[in-house]
Amino acid sequence: MSDGRVINFGAGPSALPTDVLEEANKGLLNFQGTGIGIAEISHRSKEFTAFLNEAESHIRTLLEVPSTHKILFTQGGGSGQFSAVVLNLLARHRLLHPQLKDEERVMDYVVTGSWSKKAMQEAGRLGGGRVNIAADARRYSNDGKAFNSVPPHDDYAFSADPALIYYCENETVDGVQFSDDLSSPASFPFEKLTQGALLPLVADYSSSFLSRPIPRLADHAVVFAGAQKNLGPAGLTILIVRQDCIVDVDAAAKLGATPVPITLSYKTLADHSSLYNTPSVLPIYIAGLVLRKMSDGGGLQVYAQSNRQKFEKIVAALKNGEEKDVFKAKVKDGSVSWMNIVFDVPGEGRQQKFLDGADKRGMKGLAGHRSVGGVRVSLYNAITQQDTDKLVGYMNEFVADTV
Amino acid sequence: MSDGRVINFGAGPSALPTDVLEEANKGLLNFQGTGIGIAEISHRSKEFTAFLNEAESHIRTLLEVPSTHKILFTQGGGSGQFSAVVLNLLARHRLLHPQLKDEERVMDYVVTGSWSKKAMQEAGRLGGGRVNIAADARRYSNDGKAFNSVPPHDDYAFSADPALIYYCENETVDGVQFSDDLSSPASFPFEKLTQGALLPLVADYSSSFLSRPIPRLADHAVVFAGAQKNLGPAGLTILIVRQDCIVDVDAAAKLGATPVPITLSYKTLADHSSLYNTPSVLPIYIAGLVLRKMSDGGGLQVYAQSNRQKFEKIVAALKNGEEKDVFKAKVKDGSVSWMNIVFDVPGEGRQQKFLDGADKRGMKGLAGHRSVGGVRVSLYNAITQQDTDKLVGYMNEFVADTV
């Protein structure tokens, strides 16, 4: 049944392992011998509950999630969480500091690309606090408009006692990612945060979740991720929330905080073990199979090492093309994402020629995001070394043919 | 691959047609010959966009949705809409009547079961208006606590110019449904609404959507439904929204309305043709296949007629059991749901014996909701006449063996 499949380098929804999809086919008609398909079974059945618990346990083990943090499953994607983190963490801040005025509740946003910018705009829309741009990557680009590097540590200006501190670990559109090497100048500046405090640090990990370990996970208040990159189908959002950030939003509303829609309240999700209402059972199922495969396959370090290799292979091919003036990297060295490598193919019609050639060779999804153009190579977990080698071969061939 | 499947009378997630699941198996690995599985393909690809448009068009045709109404796809289930309808319609009311105080913005709730009660509680939680119980079915039960009938038309007290008027067409837990025969005393009292006005009438159709036509659809402001009953997997919510209810929620917030999280704003969904952010592509796919099957199979009247037959068969078996004091219907005649028929099996251990016997015969999901107990027979579209006949046979056999 896997005949005719192409290599999908798309940025999301994105490639899933073929063996997982074949396994899912069985579950779609008959989940674990129940005689009922996974899309049809009650989310409160003992079989599904056990499956959900197993999925949670895989995430806890793979990412070494400490017992201070809950793992929650919800719907609505990263964009849903742009609102939810603001509402929940402003409620928390209200309970901690009931006397402050709205303009004294500061939300620090680190803006390194399109997604963190969108998250910041949502915080501004919702009000109830004041947005502070703690750092802005555009300051370091030539035109002041492009997002093409992680800002240097000196640039960050965090507020005292903010309601939240927000960053997007990997910018899917712009291809900018924080380094996981904390000695790198392109890492997140954890040393500039108040040490030892329960900081409201929020990270959007949508497009790098489970691709490698999360540095300083324990110091985060909320890590969230849409599933549709490394993990599973769209329609599932994973939250890792420190327990002090699971607050009584209704008590906060009585003190003047904005009321939180019931399904966006972290307390609702936590109190009902992610089953307050019907979750997206089928996306959870496929994500659970991917998680099981990851655990069986040796854990996160195996994937991290493989992802590093894939990244280095594509970057080498990109450098080769740059030396011969065929490709032009869009992101500065050190800030280049492992997951989404973006570059231009300058010259009349050449980019289309590159994409068409890839398409002809069975490699799809390589066009850049519609807002920025160019080429984007997404190297999520389901992309194999062999897939990567095929693209590298084509990139080198294209360079040789062009010069 | 469909070997070993049982009959799933569960209340949701619930049975889907076996042939649709078999078709979905192909799409999971290779969607329409693209070489990419449906869970992996970009939601902005031309193939998926065409599929989404087709799904929308089937809904429009099947339900005869007028051009005054948009059809939108979102996530978060019915519970997400409990909040969204309140926020969007209070914003609309604010724009129409900026001068009113919050307590003058009345939200009329018709409470006929657990779900409309929950929706009403959410309106109270969110504030920004005052909840008025326009009718309460509990007044007509013996103990004043059970929901077991639709209130008589005389009982409804609607407000003048409310922000919204809310009802739940079919109460999945309690088995109470409004009649689709508008001359029945158990129908919704449309004649008591202000005629000719653009009323903010909201209906939760989650568990009866696409089981039969929607009476007076054109008079509704919002009809919403979680997909996981008659339509598809959990994780997809369908909205039918009249265009005057798609309002600029940010303009309303400037006038004092509660800010609306961006993904809950109907305007966001409408402005981006349901693709503001990544939708739940896989649940949409399976729902789309179900819709295609319904259209090919002769349209909604065919399903409505079949559903009526299934309902009448089960009710006849229930009456037979009642006459012999083996079963006891929980809902009064006229208000019994076509979709969820609830009854008790009085006598020590008898109910468990009934459920065990059904289970042994390959009929599952018949236990009532955990909050009310009893037996619940859910007869969604995917349940066939043959499935129904099998249950009827067992019910009659159980009665004969018991007396």
**Which amino acid belongs to residue B131?**
V
Interchain CB distance below 8 Å, B40 and A15 = yes
Interchain CB distance below 8 Å, A13 and B82 = no
Q: Considering only alpha carbons, which residue of chain B is nearest residue A228?
A: B40
Partner-chain residue, chosen from A40, A78, A276, that has the shortest CB–CB distance to B15: A40
Partner-chain residue, chosen from B228, B262, B365, that has the shortest CB–CB distance to A125: B262
Compute φ and ψ for B168, nearest 5 degrees. -110, 115
Compute φ and ψ for A350, nearest 5 degrees. -70, -35
Cβ-proximal residues to A32 (8 Å cutoff; 6+ apart), any chain: A47, A51
Cα–Cα distances (Å) from A246 to A55, A70, A227, A252, in that order, read: 21, 9, 22, 12
Interchain CB distance below 8 Å, A42 and B10 = yes
CA distance A95 to chain B (A): 17
Q: Which chain A residues are closer than 8 Å to B6 by Cβ?
A: 34-36
- With H, G, I as helix, E, B as strand and everything else as coil, classify residue B288: helix
Interchain CB distance below 8 Å, B286 and A39 = yes
Q: Which chain A residues are closer than 8 Å to B35 by Cβ?
A: 4-6, 8, 362, 364
Interchain CB distance below 8 Å, B276 and A87 = no
Identify the CATH homologous superfamily for domain B299-402.
Aspartate Aminotransferase, domain 1 (3.90.1150.10)
Partner-chain residue, chosen from B13, B79, B250, that has the shortest CB–CB distance to A40: B13
CA distance B76 to chain A (A): 6
Comparing CA positions, the residue from B381, B378, B36 lying closest to residue B175 is B378
Interchain CB distance below 8 Å, A233 and B280 = yes
Q: How far apart are CA A118 and CA A113, in angstroms?
A: 9
The second-level CATH assignment, the architecture, of A46-295 is 3-Layer(aba) Sandwich (3.40)
Residue B73, H or E segment: strand B69-74
Q: How far apart are CA B126 and CA A221, in angstroms?
A: 25
| pLDDT at residue A1 tops 60 | no
Compute φ and ψ for B237, nearest 5 degrees. -125, 135
Q: Say what the alpha-carbon torsion angle B181, B182, B184, B189 is, to the nearest 10 degrees.
A: 140
CA distance B59 to chain A (A): 21
Q: How far apart are CA B97 and CA B83, in angstroms?
A: 21
Q: How far apart are CA A335 and CA A314, in angstroms?
A: 15
B115 is catalytic: yes
Determine the length of chain B: 403
Interchain CB distance below 8 Å, A253 and B83 = no
Q: Considering only alpha carbons, which residue of chain A is nearest residue B127?
A: A259
Cβ of A359: how many Cβ atoms within 10 Å? 14
Tens-level pLDDT at each residue, chain B (403 residues): 457 899 999 999 999 999 999 999 999 999 999 999 999 999 999 999 999 999 999 999 999 999 999 999 999 999 999 999 999 999 999 999 999 999 999 999 999 999 999 999 999 999 999 999 999 999 999 999 999 999 999 999 999 999 999 999 999 999 999 999 999 999 999 999 998 889 999 999 999 999 999 999 999 999 999 999 999 999 999 999 999 999 999 999 999 999 999 999 999 999 999 999 999 999 999 999 999 999 999 999 999 999 999 999 999 999 999 999 999 999 999 999 999 999 999 999 999 999 999 999 999 999 999 999 999 999 999 999 999 999 999 999 999 999 9
Using alpha carbons only, what angle is made at residue A211 by residues A210 and A213, rounded to the nearest 5 degrees? 70
Token representation of residue A174:
């712009």
B51, B277, B376: best to mutate for the A interface, most A CBs within 10 A: B277
CA distance B100 to chain A (A): 20
Using alpha carbons only, what angle is made at residue A102 by residues A190 and A242, rounded to the nearest 5 degrees? 40
Q: Considering only alpha carbons, which residue of chain A is nearest residue B261?
A: A83
Q: How far apart are CA B44 and CA B126, in angstroms?
A: 34
Comparing CA positions, the residue from B258, B343, B210 lying closest to residue A128 is B258
Return the CA Rg of chain B.
22
Cβ-proximal residues to B160 (8 Å cutoff; 6+ apart), any chain: none
CA distance B200 to chain A (A): 20
The phi-psi region of residue A321 (left if phi > 0; otherwise alpha if psi is between -120 and 50; otherwise beta) is: alpha
> Cα B93 vs. chain centroid, distance in angstroms?
25
Partner-chain residue, chosen from B1, B28, B79, that has the shortest CB–CB distance to A21: B28
Complex confidence, ipTM: 0.97
Partner-chain residue, chosen from B5, B16, B364, that has the shortest CB–CB distance to A39: B16
Q: How far apart are CA B129 and CA B258, in angstroms?
A: 10
Give the model's confidence band at A195: pLDDT under 50 very low, under 70 low, under 90 confident, else very high. Answer: confident
Partner-chain residue, chosen from B29, B35, B122, that has the shortest CB–CB distance to A1: B29
Q: Considering only alpha carbons, which residue of chain B is nearest residue A8?
A: B36
Using alpha carbons only, what angle is made at residue B166 by residues B161 and B168, rounded to the nearest 5 degrees? 160
Interchain CB distance below 8 Å, A234 and B87 = no
CA distance B139 to chain A (A): 28
Which residue in this structure is represented by tokens 């909040």? Answer: B83
Q: Considering only alpha carbons, which residue of chain A is nearest residue B123?
A: A261
Strand partners, A363: A7
Q: How far apart are CA B75 and CA A266, in angstroms?
A: 17
Percent of chain A topping pLDDT 70:
100
Q: Which chain A residues are closer than 8 Å to B42 by Cβ?
A: 10-13, 365
Cα–Cα distances (Å) from A61 to A16, A57, A67, A72, A283, in that order, read: 21, 6, 11, 15, 20
Q: Which chain A residues are closer than 8 Å to B25 by Cβ?
A: 1, 25, 28-29
Per domain, the residue ranges of chain B are 46-295, 299-402
Q: What is the DSSP string of B261-287?
A: -GGG-HHHHHHTTT-SS---HHHHHHH
Query: Taking a C-beta distance cutoff of 8 angstroms, is the pair B49, B32 a contact?
Result: no
Residue A380: exposure state from Cβ atoms within 10 A (0-12, 13-18, ≥19): buried
Strand partners, B166: B109, B202
**pLDDT of res. A209:** 98
The phi-psi region of residue B256 (left if phi > 0; otherwise alpha if psi is between -120 and 50; otherwise beta) is: left
Q: Which chain A residues are closer than 8 Å to B14 by Cβ?
A: 40
Sequence-ordered strand ranges (E) for B258-400: 328-329, 340-344, 363-364, 375-378
**pLDDT of res. A233:** 96
Interchain CB distance below 8 Å, A21 and B10 = no
Residue B143: CA count within 13 A, CB half-sphere: 5
Q: Which chain B residues are closer than 8 Å to A37 by Cβ?
A: 5, 16, 21
Q: Say what the alpha-carbon torsion angle A317, A322, A326, A330 is, to the nearest 10 degrees.
A: 90
Tens digit of each residue's pLDDT (9 = 90 or more) over A155-187: 999 999 999 999 999 999 999 999 999 999 999
**pLDDT of res. B196:** 82
- With H, G, I as helix, E, B as strand and everything else as coil, classify residue B294: helix
Q: Which chain B residues are closer than 8 Å to A8 by Cβ?
A: 35-36, 40-41
Q: Which residues of A are annotated as catalytic? A: 115, 204, 229
**pLDDT of res. A2:** 59
Tally C-beta pairs within 8 A across A and B.
253
Cα–Cα distances (Å) from A72 to A282, A324, A349, in that order, read: 16, 48, 47
Partner-chain residue, chosen from B3, B83, B364, that has the shortest CB–CB distance to A263: B83
Sign of CA dihedral A223, A269, A94, A68: negative
CA distance B396 to chain A (A): 24
Query: Taking a C-beta distance cutoff of 8 angstroms, is the pair B9, B224 a contact?
Result: no
Determine the length of chain A: 403
The phi-psi region of residue B334 (left if phi > 0; otherwise alpha if psi is between -120 and 50; otherwise beta) is: left
Tens digit of each residue's pLDDT (9 = 90 or more) over B301-351: 999 999 999 999 999 999 999 999 999 999 999 999 999 999 999 999 999
